[in-house]
Amino acid sequence: MKFKLDRIRTKGQVEDLIAKEVTKFYLKTLGVGPRESQVYILEDMVVVRLKGQLLPIERNLLALSNKKGIELVKNIRQALHEITTKKLSTLMKKISGHAVISSHSDISTKTGERVEIFVLDTDYEKELKLKFSDSQP
């Protein structure tokens, strides 16, 4: 996986690249990707917001019993997070050039929207602003 980072200069361009790559990752890994993805780089965090739908098995679990179904769906997503976090962290490092020191994930059992947060080892937002301001004439 190679990125043309030399052509990327702005924070928005990096956020867009991350959104596209995370969507591709989920399509490849789960066979289903988000309907929409947004990424926000805030200081040392990369916040990934994935809008979409629940997996069919998750919808079935929620239909069976409300409280137990919610718990089961949360457990499935936690397990998926544990399985995919290493590859997603590697993806973040390839794009940002910085290591992920922690990651966090949650899903809404009502809307299927997911939020994933990757904490980097530096203030990446500040770095991008400095790079962009330095490259301006």
Q: Where are the domains of the chain?
A: 5-135
Q: Across residues 86-99, what is the average pLDDT? A: 95
For 19, 33, 51, 64, the CA distances from 111, given in Å and listed in that order, are 19, 15, 8, 17
**Tokens in use for 49?**
């917001």
Tokens 């929620």 belong to which residue?
A: 62
Alpha carbon of residue 2 to chain centroid:
18
Can you tell me which residue has the tokens 């399985």? 83
DSSP-derived pairing of the beta strands 45-51 and 114-120:
antiparallel
Interstrand relation of 36-42 and 114-120 (parallel, antiparallel or unpaired): unpaired
- Cα-flanking dihedrals φ and ψ of residue 32, to 5°? -140, 130
pLDDT computed for residue 23 by the predictor: 94
pLDDT digits (tens, 9 = 90+) for 9-38: 789 999 999 999 999 999 998 888 889 999
Predicted confidence (pLDDT) per residue in 22-81, tens digit: 999 999 988 888 899 999 999 999 999 999 878 788 888 888 777 888 888 889 889 988
Most confident of 63-72, 92-101, 108-117: 92-101
Phi, psi of 80 (to 5 degrees): -60, -40
Q: Are 17 and 8 in contact (CB under 8 A)?
A: yes
* Residue 1: band (very low, low, confident or very high) from pLDDT cuts 50, 70, 90: low
* Helices marked H in 40-105: 56-64, 66-96
Q: Which fold has domain 5-135?
A: Threonyl-tRNA Synthetase; Chain A, domain 2 (3.30.980)
Give pLDDT, residue 133.
67
